[in-house]
Structure 1
Amino acid sequence: MSFGEWERLPPDPDPVADLGYSPGKWTVRETNRGGRRHVVFACDDEAERDRESFIIATGAAVEDLVDRR
Structure 2
Amino acid sequence: MAAYSDWESLSADPDPEADLGYVGTEWDVIRTTQKEQSHLLFLPQDEQLLKQEAFVIADESAVVDIATHR
* Structure 1 length-normalised TM: 0.83
Cα deviation for residue 20 of structure 1 reads 1.4
For residues 12 and 68 of structure 1, the distance between their equivalents in structure 2, rounded to whole angstroms, comes to 16
Q: Which residue matches 1:14?
A: 15
- Structure 1, unpaired ranges of 5+: none
Moved more, 7-16 or 34-43: 7-16
Cα deviation for residue 64 of structure 1 reads 1.6
Q: Which residue matches 1:34?
A: 35
Relative to its length, the structure with more helix (as a share) is 2
- Structure 2, unpaired ranges of 5+: none
Query: Structure 1: which 4+ aligned runs deviate by more than 2 Å?
Result: none
Cα deviation for residue 15 of structure 1 reads 0.8
Name the SS of the counterpart of 1:41 in structure 2. strand
Aligned length: 68
* Structure 2 length-normalised TM: 0.82
